[in-house]
Structure 1
């Protein structure tokens, strides 16, 4: 792919990230994405096949960037959770894209390879740490990973009413809560 084509593809992915984060898959409009990317709808279909294909490409890129920026260390799950929290703070669209993905793709039968692969690798790492005695076994490896991931994104997943009660919390305090909650989770019983 030549540089102009790659630049167009990157612009489309950036514009699509903003559009999908704001409106979800169903609400996103390819004409707005094309306009924001200084491109046209034909290019979206050329590079990604469909609006769903474009969403999948956005989600794949987001997952890869997160995996590169925040590798798991199962022996230090509280710190991993804190780094995930930091990543979500720096890239707030990640949690919005994940919410749209859960809402609009649940039960669709479409499972993204990057998500399957990253979950499998993380679960294997947690299971290995459990076998080595580094992590407790009161939860299975998938359950423990799920709890850590949800605690890392806790602040973006509750109701506005609870958020209003927590409005005075600083980012540092919110991070501290995540790290301490995961530390309590993995503490020996």
Structure 2
């Protein structure tokens, strides 16, 4: 794209349409998953049309991939891993999930509807590889326990960081007196105990 077209009304309109479609699709996929999402509802919510969805994203699956990719990149930028302070990393991830509840819903749909497909999104694959290497490097340097393999340790930290946002309503009801600050503290303390 030339610099002129990037700033032309058509270029701005196209990017604005794409952003509206991604925002509407994020809400739709978080609520209904891939199979249950409807492109007509997404198009209406985005003040666009179905043809634009297929033009920009190729298919409903392509649109979900774009939503998931954007969500992952936003999380990676907002919450970079710190292998020298995994408890606080888990706390920051917890904060991110509280601020953006759709993240865990999209991740759940991704696991449910893409399990066993053999497809891997590059952003997810590459971010896990980088995080695992960061943890492994800290282990090799003696700054982090090697009680667990790097990938296992990362998985445990990620699971603990999302603990509160993936609970059933029944457990939440039993813990309804636990405030957000205490929930975060439990996540941080659990990861600290894990790596002690």
Match in the other structure for 1:91 = 100
Q: Give the one of 160, 165, 178 matched to 2:187.
A: 178
Matches for 1:1-150 after TM superposition, within 5 Å: 2-150=11-159
Q: Is the 8 A contact 2:90 2:158 kept in 1?
A: yes
Displacement of 1:157 in angstroms is 1.8
Hey, what's the Cα distance between the residues in 2 that align with 1:113 and 1:11? 23
Comparing 18-27 with 151-160, greater Cα deviation is found at 151-160
Displacement of 1:159 in angstroms is 2.1
| Superposed structure 1 runs of 4+ greater than 4 Å apart | none
Displacement of 1:93 in angstroms is 0.4
Match in the other structure for 1:152 = 161
Normalising by structure 1, report the TM-score: 0.97
The runs of 5 or more residues in structure 2 that have no matched partner are 1-5
* SS of the residue 1:169 aligns to: coil
Hey, what's the Cα distance between the residues in 2 that align with 1:140 and 1:19? 37
Map Cα deviations across residues 33-88 of structure 1 (whole Å, 9 max, x no partner): 00000000000000000000000000000000000000001000000000000111
